[in-house]
Amino acid sequence: VPELPEVETVRRALDARLKGLAIESFHLPKRAFNRPPVKGALDGLIGSRVESVGRRGKYLIMRLDTGKHLILHLGMSGRIVFGTAGPHTRFQMTLEGAVVMSFHDARRFGTVGCDLPELGPEPLEDAFNGEALFQALRGRKAPVKALLLDQAVVAGVGNIYATEALFESGIRPARRADSLSRQDCDRLAAAIKRILAQAVELGGSTLEDTAYLDPNGDAGYFQLHVKVYGRKTGACGHALKATKKPLAGRTSLYCPICQK
């Protein structure tokens, strides 16, 4: 599932390639995605020019010279590529200079033309820090990992990076959020920032279960630096354990010695 670093990598590629280009045509068949575009989201798209491509959490925001935005979400398995259609192409856009952008999505959980939901702070911005995280977790009984995956708490964090950040800050994923001290939150927020920044640098993670590639077909390299996710032994040298209960739908790996 693409998380902030993967979406940011896609954003950079789209911004570099599409900026300043007029949209000549697009194709979005009915029922292309599980979630149809919101009413009017695609009106006036043809003839408008892409001013820039931005990002908020895991959402891509194509800003147009008409003042409108076209918002895209990659969902579980979405991939944007430059060039021709594949077997799972759900949306295609042709821009001037014969530039073609195709959105492939085998599982159809992606969206084109959605509204931006309420999102928590951007983790790489100053608004997200130990104090903000402490305030967001205060009085919450849910496991800390489940809240890190809640996009209203912090935007863009998913399973891989939450697992890694909890390991680096020595906090067990199943711990009740309200048991975290202010110091725990400082360590956790700092780990989230450090890991996401490093993952953006490395172009995201390309793991077997996601097979993520950027729009130019390039893989990410953060998976080479993963300390817990998908491993049997942690980077600390200890055997990892999985949480007894799933957290936000999936069991989570942690080190029973280093994480408290």
Q: Which residues are catalytic?
A: 2-3, 58, 250
Interaction mask 207-236, Zn ion, x per CB under 5 A: ---------------------------x-x
Q: Indicate the residue among 71 and 258 with the shorter CB distance to Zn ion.
A: 258
Nearer to Zn ion, 247 or 258 (CB): 258
For the bound state, the minimum distance from the C-beta of residue 231 to Zn ion, rounded and expressed in Å, comes to 11
Residue 257 as a binder of Zn ion (CB under 5 A): the answer is: yes
Does 127 engage in binding with Zn ion (CB under 5 A)? Answer: no
Determine, following the binding rule CB under 5 A, whether residue 19 of this chain makes contact with Zn ion.
no
Nearest residue (CB) to Zn ion, 41 versus 258: 258
**Which C-beta is closer to Zn ion: that of 211 or that of 236?**
236
CB closer to Zn ion out of 70 and 240: 240
Residue 19 CA to residue 235 CA, distance in Å, equals: 41
Out of 45, 112, 202, 255, the only residue in the binding site for Zn ion (CB under 5 A) is: 255
Cβ atoms of 163 and 225 within 8 Å: the answer is: no
CA–CA gap between residue 48 and residue 63 (Å, rounded): 10
Residues 46-105 that bind Zn ion (CB under 5 A): none
Residue recorded with tokens 């300390």: 227
Q: How far apart are CA 23 and CA 119, in angstroms?
A: 29
Structure-token pair, residue 248: 């936000």
The residue written with tokens 């590629």 in the block is 13
Tell me the C-alpha distance between 201 and 225, whole Å: 12
Binding to Zn ion by residue 38, rule CB under 5 A?
Answer: no
CB of 234 to Zn ion, least distance (A): 5
Determine the length of the chain: 260
Q: Is 239 among the residues that bind Zn ion (CB under 5 A)?
A: no
Q: How far is the CB of 240 from Zn ion (least distance, A)?
A: 8
Residues touching Zn ion, count (CB under 5 A): 6
Query: 87-111 burial, b if ≥16 CB within 10 A, otherwise e?
Result: ebbbbbbbbeeebebbbbbeebbbb
Q: Give min distance, CB of 257 to Zn ion, in A.
A: 4
The three-state secondary structure class of 79 is: strand
Instruction: Provide the token pair at 21.
Output: 């280009």
Place of tokens 């939901």: 117
* Residue 238 touches Zn ion, criterion: CB under 5 A: yes
User: Does residue 171 belong to the site contacting Zn ion (CB under 5 A)?
Assistant: no
Alpha helix (H) ranges present in 169-244? Answer: 182-201
Give the binding site for Zn ion (CB under 5 A).
Answer: 234, 236, 238, 255, 257-258
